[in-house]
């Protein structure tokens, strides 16, 4: 089946546009001296035209102000700056406004009676004359507050809030649905990303546009099509009923060409993520880049990056809208980075690939009821920015337990698109990329700068426990086994090196009410188990606190869980006995890619593990979360790495020009802006992830 279409009207438009372009060099449009939108602008290029801070004076950078939220924990927010005011979020998703020149707080909005909270990457600003609004997600609600006061706007939805499930249909009513990423504006519409469960209980991941003024649904695009809709025949006939398949959602954010009225929407995999025997077929529009009419939600074109995904290969970041030279002509293009470490580049209007893409054969599944798709698309250019294969020679040469790593490697299936089964599969690049949610920066010359993770994961499936195997368990332990053990392990010790904390003695760290609310709302990487009733949560909470009364009667727990024949054995990184990656360095990279030619200009290890450098080991690079910013002065600003450093890099060479240690690791994309003639660069410093210390601050740098 074709993955892109070429409507005649858009082909004609493309020809007219191409005929009108007569520039000698490709230059991106736009660029604000503030930072009014997520990742800098509608093109999501992380680019600023500011040039006050440059290579000759960057060494003089100093802290201009630091804002302490007094609310510590991981912060992924890319702050926006409009009319001298900075808007951001805290670790517990409280929204605030600061004076962007001083860091002084103007207001803060906090939801009451919140349990667990999910990490949020920012807010959206909209205005119409004196009506100025900040829109953001809080739990399963889209909220609107007055940008000047932080007070909820009564006329938006119900008392300032509207449900993010409003257009998902009745099956989503009791299911988990939130948003981590700011919405995308088109006129009076805000188009919202969604994060859903990744299990068989997931809601459908439809794309929804809300009216900014009223909160009413304006349009819905169904990513799991209904009968008669394009793509319906790529699923089993009843999949649209959302009984045991959901997802195909866009959680990572979108970009928009407002002049043409096209919104570009990257989607993720269908759920359950790692098994597709109950969703036989290509599965449109999962794992797609969708070009939709921003006014109506109608599909213009699409491209699918992974057919019948069973590897959690969500598209991890908004695409970049660029103008590049292709076959001697300037072309408005859209470039999408992937977890696999590839960049796919398309004509923005028609969806035609600007570099050849090959459908490449890959192995079949060993599971008798899993019909994997026979081929997957691989671009011939640009070259991948992360390694694609690993061999025994690629195991970590510094590991003390290399023999153990070798044994794991030899008993695992290894290679791209190796289907999961009961035998371990070494998935590389891992589930966090390659590219991750921080995405890529692109300068006006069409040069992309992308940081990547180099981490392998060991994944496998097991048979779903039968009723008789669960019969001896208490109600609470049964619920734990079915819902929690996959990440926190049967012994509740978790897997901290892979990001999953221990629940042993949880009662000494948290109270019962907090844990009960967290089960429903989720927190960080953990989705909320909204299908569990208050009565069902009681035995689960009691089991976690070690005081479950087994003899007490209780309803049969887990009765609402949909059935699939396999369970996932958990998210496990391939690590040595010291917690370092099981493969040889680099473990993180930063790459400059010329999108005009597909050539890499440079690639450098990114990030440092200082304890290894002290032993004489060359810088290894490290995992990173958050992206770079590129400015007109030729500088890249980036934190992102677990070493807690904030770096300024020469975009032409990749050389580090200046660096400083942050109060806590900055797992976020910076923002740069100008107020009263002075350029600032600000980064959220929440730490926490990857075992780093917690922080609570936003730090702004400027020249003296």
Predicted confidence (pLDDT) per residue in 238-288, tens digit: 999 999 999 999 999 999 999 999 999 999 999 999 999 999 999 999 999
Domain residue limits, the chain: 389-427+455-464+568-585, 465-562
Label residue 24 by pLDDT band (50, 70, 90). very low
pLDDT of residue 288: 98
- Would you say 176 and 185 are in contact if contact means Cβ atoms under 8 Å apart? no
pLDDT of residue 116: 54
Give the count of beta carbons closer than 10 Å to the beta carbon of residue 212.
Answer: 24
Surface-to-core class of residue 544, CB atoms within 10 Å of its CB (0-12 exposed, 13-18 middle, 19+ buried): buried
**pLDDT of residue 1 exceeding 50:** no
Label residue 582 by pLDDT band (50, 70, 90). very high
Surface-to-core class of residue 207, CB atoms within 10 Å of its CB (0-12 exposed, 13-18 middle, 19+ buried): buried
Average pLDDT, the chain: 90
Closest CA to 589 of 447, 429, 445, 467: 429
- Would you say 449 and 637 are in contact if contact means Cβ atoms under 8 Å apart? no
DSSP of 443-455, one letter per residue? -TTSEEEEEEE--
pLDDT of residue 543: 75
**pLDDT of residue 6 exceeding 60:** no
Dig out the tokens for 546 from the structure: 């070690």
634 Cβ contact list (under 8 Å, min separation 6): 54, 55, 650, 651, 652
Per-residue pLDDT of 429-471, as tens digits, reads 999 999 999 999 999 999 999 999 999 999 999 998 887 667 7
DSSP of 493-530, one letter per residue? --BGGGTB---TTGGGTS-HHHHHHHHHH-BTTBPP-T
pLDDT of residue 586: 98
447 Cβ contact list (under 8 Å, min separation 6): 592, 593, 594, 595, 601, 651
In degrees and rounded to multiples of 5, residue 108 shows phi and psi of: -145, 135
Per-residue pLDDT of 472-507, as tens digits, reads 777 777 777 777 877 787 788 777 766 778 888 877
Average pLDDT of 377-395?
Answer: 97
Closest CA to 465 of 444, 490, 445, 448: 490
Per-residue pLDDT of 493-551, as tens digits, reads 777 766 778 888 877 777 777 777 777 777 766 777 776 777 666 677 767 776 666 65
Residue with tokens 């009108």: 20
The three-state DSSP-derived secondary structure of 260-324 is CCEEEEECCCEECCCCCCCCCCCCCCCCEEEEEECCCCCEEEEEECCCCCCCCCCCCCCCEEEEE
In this structure, of 182-196, 401-415, 514-528, 563-577, the range with the lowest mean pLDDT score is 514-528
Residue with tokens 């008789």: 468
What sections of 30-112 are H helices per DSSP? none
In angstroms, the CA 361 to CA 451 distance is 28
**How big is the CA angle at 499 (ends 497 and 503), to the nearest 5 degrees?**
95
pLDDT of residue 531: 67
Label residue 27 by pLDDT band (50, 70, 90). very low
pLDDT of residue 141: 96
In angstroms, the CA 623 to CA 690 distance is 8
**How big is the CA angle at 315 (ends 137 and 259), to the nearest 5 degrees?**
70
**pLDDT of residue 114 exceeding 70:** no
Label residue 22 by pLDDT band (50, 70, 90). very low
Q: Residue 241 in 3-state DSSP?
A: helix
Q: Is the dihedral of CA 148, 150, 154, 157 positive or negative?
A: positive
In angstroms, the CA 168 to CA 196 distance is 12
Label residue 13 by pLDDT band (50, 70, 90). very low
Average pLDDT of 312-324?
Answer: 98
Surface-to-core class of residue 679, CB atoms within 10 Å of its CB (0-12 exposed, 13-18 middle, 19+ buried): buried
- Would you say 1 and 282 are in contact if contact means Cβ atoms under 8 Å apart? yes
pTM: 0.90
Estimate the crossing angle of helix 512-521 against helix 534-545, to 10 degrees. Answer: 130
- Would you say 601 and 593 are in contact if contact means Cβ atoms under 8 Å apart? yes
- Would you say 613 and 32 are in contact if contact means Cβ atoms under 8 Å apart? no
225 Cβ contact list (under 8 Å, min separation 6): 231, 232, 235, 240, 284, 285
In 3-state terms, the chain is what percent helix, strand and coil (to 5)?
A: 15, 30, 55
Label residue 610 by pLDDT band (50, 70, 90). very high
**More confident call, 12 vs 680:** 680
- Would you say 649 and 640 are in contact if contact means Cβ atoms under 8 Å apart? no
Per-residue pLDDT of 211-222, as tens digits, reads 999 999 999 999
Q: Which CATH architecture has domain 465-562?
A: Orthogonal Bundle (1.10)
**More confident call, 225 vs 489:** 225
Q: Residue 67 in 3-state DSSP?
A: strand
**pLDDT of residue 378 exceeding 90:** yes
**More confident call, 11 vs 396:** 396
**pLDDT of residue 166 exceeding 90:** yes
């Amino acid at each position: 089946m074709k993955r892109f279409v070429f409507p005649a009207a858009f082909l004609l438009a493309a020809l007219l546009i191409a005929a009108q372009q007569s520039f000698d060099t490709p230059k991106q449009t736009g660029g604000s001296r503030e930072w009014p939108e997520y990742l800098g602008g509608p093109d999501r290029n992380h680019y600023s035209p500011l040039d006050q801070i440059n290579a000759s004076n960057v060494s003089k950078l100093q802290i201009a102000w630091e804002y302490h939220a007094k609310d510590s924990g991981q912060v992924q927010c890319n702050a926006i700056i409009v009319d001298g005011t900075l808007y951001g979020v805290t670790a517990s998703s409280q929204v605030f406004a600061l004076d962007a020149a001083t860091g002084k707080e103007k207001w803060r909005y906090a939801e009451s009676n919140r349990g667990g909270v999910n990490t949020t990457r920012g807010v959206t600003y909209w205005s119409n004359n004196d009506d100025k609004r900040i829109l953001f997600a809080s739990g399963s609600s889209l909220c609107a507050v007055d940008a000047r006061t932080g007070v909820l706007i009564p006329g938006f939805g119900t008392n300032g809030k509207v449900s993010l499930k409003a257009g998902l249909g009745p099956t989503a009513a009791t299911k988990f649905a939130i948003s981590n990423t700011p919405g995308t504006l088109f006129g009076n519409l805000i188009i919202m990303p969604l994060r859903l469960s990744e299990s068989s209980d997931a809601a459908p991941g439809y794309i929804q546009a809300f009216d900014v003024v009223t909160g009413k649904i304006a349009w819905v695009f169904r990513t799991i099509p209904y009968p008669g809709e394009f793509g319906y025949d790529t699923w089993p006939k009843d999949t649209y009923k959302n009984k045991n398949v959901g997802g195909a959602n866009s959680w990572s954010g979108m970009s928009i060409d407002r002049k043409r009225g096209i919104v570009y929407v990257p989607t993720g995999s269908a759920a359950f993520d790692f098994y597709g025997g109950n969703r036989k077929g290509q599965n449109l529009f999962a794992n797609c880049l969708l070009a939709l009419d921003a006014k109506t939600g109608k599909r213009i074109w699409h491209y699918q990056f992974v057919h019948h995904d069973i590897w959690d290969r969500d598209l991890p970041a908004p695409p970049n809208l660029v103008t590049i030279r292709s076959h001697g002509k300037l072309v408005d293009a859209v470039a999408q980075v992937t977890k696999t470490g590839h960049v796919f580049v398309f004509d923005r209007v028609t969806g035609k690939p600007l570099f050849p893409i090959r459908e490449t054969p890959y192995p079949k599944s060993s599971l008798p009821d899993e019909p994997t798709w026979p081929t997957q698309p691989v671009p011939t250019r640009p070259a991948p920015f992360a390694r694609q294969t690993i061999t025994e020679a690629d195991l970590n040469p510094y590991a003390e337990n290399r023999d153990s790593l070798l044994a794991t490697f030899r008993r695992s299936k290894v290679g791209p698109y190796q289907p999961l089964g009961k035998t371990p599969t070494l998935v590389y690049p891992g589930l966090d990329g390659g590219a991750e949610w921080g995405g890529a920066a692109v300068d006006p010359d069409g040069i992309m700068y992308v940081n990547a993770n180099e981490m392998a994961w060991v994944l496998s499936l097991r048979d779903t426990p039968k009723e008789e195997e669960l019969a001896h368990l208490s109600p609470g332990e049964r619920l734990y086994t079915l819902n929690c053990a996959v990440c926190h392990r049967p012994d509740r010790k978790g897997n901290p090196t892979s990001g999953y904390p221990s629940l042993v003695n949880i009662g000494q760290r948290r109270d019962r009410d907090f844990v009960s609310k967290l089960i429903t709302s989720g927190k960080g990487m953990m989705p909320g188990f909204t299908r569990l009733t208050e009565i069902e949560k009681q035995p689960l909470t009691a089991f976690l606190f070690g005081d479950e009364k087994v003899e007490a009667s209780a309803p049969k727990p887990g009765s609402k869980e949909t059935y699939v024949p396999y369970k996932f054995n958990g998210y496990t990184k391939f690590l040595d006995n010291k917690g370092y990656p099981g493969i040889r360095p680099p473990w993180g990279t930063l790459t400059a890619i010329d999108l005009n030619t597909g050539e890499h200009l440079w690639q450098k290890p990114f990030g440092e593990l200082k304890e290894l450098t002290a032993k004489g080991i060359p810088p290894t690079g490290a995992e990173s979360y958050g992206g770079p910013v590129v400015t007109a002065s030729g500088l890249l600003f980036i934190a992102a790495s677990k070493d807690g450093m904030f770096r300024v890099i020469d975009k032409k060479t990749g050389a580090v020009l200046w660096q400083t240690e942050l109060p806590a690791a900055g797992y976020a994309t910076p923002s740069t802006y100008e107020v009263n003639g002075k350029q600032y660069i600000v980064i959220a410093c929440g730490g926490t992830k990857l075992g780093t210390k917690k922080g609570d601050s936003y730090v702004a740098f400027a020249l003296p």
